Amino acid sequence: MIIVPWTLWFIFHKKESRARLLFAGFATMLIASFLDFLGVAYGLWVYLVDVIFTIPAFIVWDFSVLPVIVMFFLQIKPAFNPIIKGIIFGAFSSFVGEPVTVWLGLYDPLEWKYIYSFPIYILIYLIIHYISRSRTFGPLE
């Protein structure tokens, strides 16, 4: 779950947009990790498998799969309506991604329903879309 997404991204990403996409991916990691931390801390859900005993299990999802999917969504049809892309991303993540992680035995949504994640994923995508379109990047001269 860590190596395959990043390998695919490295092969298929837009090389000329690498820095912007990585910035968007990093922002995705920060937002998703913070929200996962809160969910686990408040007992809303639990991750059942520890990859490394000192690293929270949600790091695998938040630092690989989720940002790579967001970066692909950003680069595919960049002029397409971001709200529709956010809805597609939210639906895929909530109603496909989360059930698959439950089925694989990686995640247990104790007090959480998939529908709760849907607007959150849409909001994450829209925030990252806005960040990725920032014109504040300039040369470091």
pLDDT-derived band at 134, boundaries 50, 70, 90: confident
Contact 58, 106 (CB under 8 A): no
Based on the number of CB atoms within 10 Å of its own CB, is 11 exposed (0-12), middle (13-18) or buried (19 or more)?
exposed
Q: What pLDDT digit, counting tens, does each position of 14-64 carry?
A: 888 888 899 999 999 999 999 999 999 999 999 887 767 777 778 878 898
How much is the pTM? 0.89
Share of the chain above pLDDT 70, in %: 94
